[in-house]
Amino acid sequence: MGCCVRRVQVGAAARPACRRPEGFTDFEGRPRRLQLFLAEYGWTASVPAFLEEVAARIQAHVTSLRELAAHDPVFARIVAQGGANDLGAALAELAHFK
């Protein structure tokens, strides 16, 4: 599996979506599921190291959305509809894993 594919898949682990209904309400089980996910993909660093990487990627995305919004109407609409704020809220949720 290539590095880019792995990064995208590992990045998806921070998303709150889950195919099973209990994934939406079993908030206390999220850290355990994240550890299982990372182990399955061979993540050798710590969970906090993973969360730091995800947080940095989310923050970079928020920053680029806001910068692009100043010059592009598509990105301006995304920001106006709360896209950057939603990502900010997701960033804040990562603190619950620590």
Report how far apart, in Å, the C-alpha atoms of 49 and of each of 16, 25, 55, 62, 74 are: 19, 25, 10, 20, 33
Residue 17 has what pLDDT? 47
Q: How far apart are the first and last CA of the chain?
A: 28
Residue 22 has what pLDDT? 52
Residue 7 has what pLDDT? 47
Structure confidence by residue, pLDDT tens digits, 11-26? 555 554 445 555 567 7
Q: What are the residue ranges spanned by the domains of the chain?
A: 3-97
* pTM for this prediction: 0.66
